[in-house]
Amino acid sequence: MRIPFSYNIRNLVVRKTTTIMTALGIALTVAVLLSVLALVNGLQTSLRSSGDPKRILVMRKGATAELTSGVTRQAFQDLKFKPGIARDSAGQPLASLEIVTVINLPSVDSEAGMNVTTRGLLQPGIEIRNLKLAEGRWFESGRRELVVGKGIAARYPDARLGGTLKFGKGEWTVVGVVDAGTGPINSEILGDLNQVAGDLNRMEGLSAMWLVAEDEITAKSLINSINDDVKLTAQAKSEVEYLEAQTSSAAPIQFIGIFVSLIMAVGSSFAAMNTMYAAVSRRAREVGTLRVLGFSKGSILTSFFLESLVLALVGGVLGCLLALPLNGLTTGVGNNLTFSEIAFNFRVGPDTMATGIVFALVMGALGGLFPARSAARKEILTALREI
């Protein structure tokens, strides 16, 4: 005979103080885990989702990032007429010679400032990335004007529309804010290639070249052609491959967060176990009465185990609610390849919350199994004699 599920719900409600405290412990553990997962998911989404296999990055051989790369204008002239490169409406190749540096700006988190990627690019560089303005206008060639990503505008007060930044040989005016979706351009400052290069005294020593292939199959052939070209002494890789390497920034955060969550999970599991053991001890007579009424040991074990799972489920749902306000919150993390900050949004999606619920149920199962076995093994007369 099976014990009604309402019996377990009633017990949790009657012992509301211990129920709330145990559920809260589980909830905090789940909230910590979800916070870390939301941060990592946001960073990975920012980098991976914006990658286009047709976009190709060309750097100096051996370079791991644009910041440490070096290319010449002559190499760009040799490269941009290679077969397989897509062309714009005017018939010109969609290729952009670019310079990348970092500047220090005070952020909302640190007055001492953070490193921010600043990119000088040609007009095709905008078309290559399909960038759209959210505010203002594009910079004009030969002028000290900048367009910033929306992540930069959100985190750096000096870089908002109409603001003034100081780097290179003078002041620059922010004339626009670009919305690159979830892409890394949201964490960059953009300006005219020649103006930025001139300010940095690097008119010939530039950083990298970006181009777009006609299609994905052509992109692979183009990458092989560039890598095999002895004259260019350059290496090419797809944007997807390049951005994938940058997700390594999230690995230490993910490891530390999950490690802390596991430690908290052990504590929460013991808390759930203590709660259930206490419940078994207080309800000894109830257990004996259930046996007298004809309920089997298996029914009692299942009943107490389900009660622990319900307790964990309540904690898991509460943990999801605690983490939910983080969704969409803008933050930043240092990138160990670009030596600058990447701005992105926390992402608390259905898959993340499902992970939190499963994590809570595992804690409940571990915490409830042994107390449930203890309840099921009680002898009838011994249980009825206990106070």
pLDDT digits (tens, 9 = 90+) for 15-32: 777 778 778 888 888 888
Question: What is the per-residue pLDDT for 287?
Answer: 62
Whether pLDDT at 291 is above 60: yes
Q: What is the dihedral of CA 153, 155, 157, 158, to 10 degrees?
A: -70
Predicted local confidence at residue 164, as pLDDT: 92
Q: 39 pLDDT band (50/70/90 cuts)?
A: confident
Question: In which residue are the tokens 């052509």 written?
Answer: 218
Provide the residue ranges of all domains of the chain, joining segments of one domain with +: 5-48+249-385, 55-212
Task: Please state the rounded mean pLDDT for residues 163-191.
Answer: 88
pLDDT value for 95: 93
Taking the C-alpha atoms of residue 220 and residue 211, their distance in angstroms, rounded to an integer, is 13
pLDDT tens by residue, 205-219: 899 999 999 999 999
The highest-confidence range among 118-122, 290-294, 338-342, by mean pLDDT, is: 118-122
> What's 2's DSSP letter?
P
Per-residue pLDDT, 125: 92
- pLDDT value for 303: 78
Percent of the chain with pLDDT over 90: 27
Q: Which residue has the tokens 């997962």?
A: 37
Q: What would the mean pLDDT of 164-170 be, rounded to a whole number?
A: 88
pLDDT of 381 over the 60 cut: no
Listed in sequence order, the DSSP H helices in the chain are: 5-14, 16-48, 73-79, 123-128, 150-155, 193-199, 216-228, 239-246, 250-282, 284-292, 297-323, 350-376, 380-385
pLDDT at 86: 92
Percent of all residues in the chain with a pLDDT value above 70, rounded to a whole number: 77
Residue range 311-317: average pLDDT?
Answer: 88
Listed residue (129, 111, 59, 41) closest to 338, CA to CA: 59
Residue 175 has pLDDT above 90, yes or no: yes
pLDDT at 328: 75
Higher-confidence residue: 191 or 244?
Answer: 191
254-277 tens-digit pLDDT: 677 677 777 777 776 676 667 666
Output the average pLDDT for the chain. Answer: 81
Residue corresponding to tokens 């389900």: 306
Q: Is the pLDDT of residue 69 over 60?
A: yes
Residue 137's pLDDT band, with cuts at 50, 70 and 90, is very high
Nearest of 42, 153, 39 to residue 107 by alpha carbon: 153
pLDDT for 7 equals 64
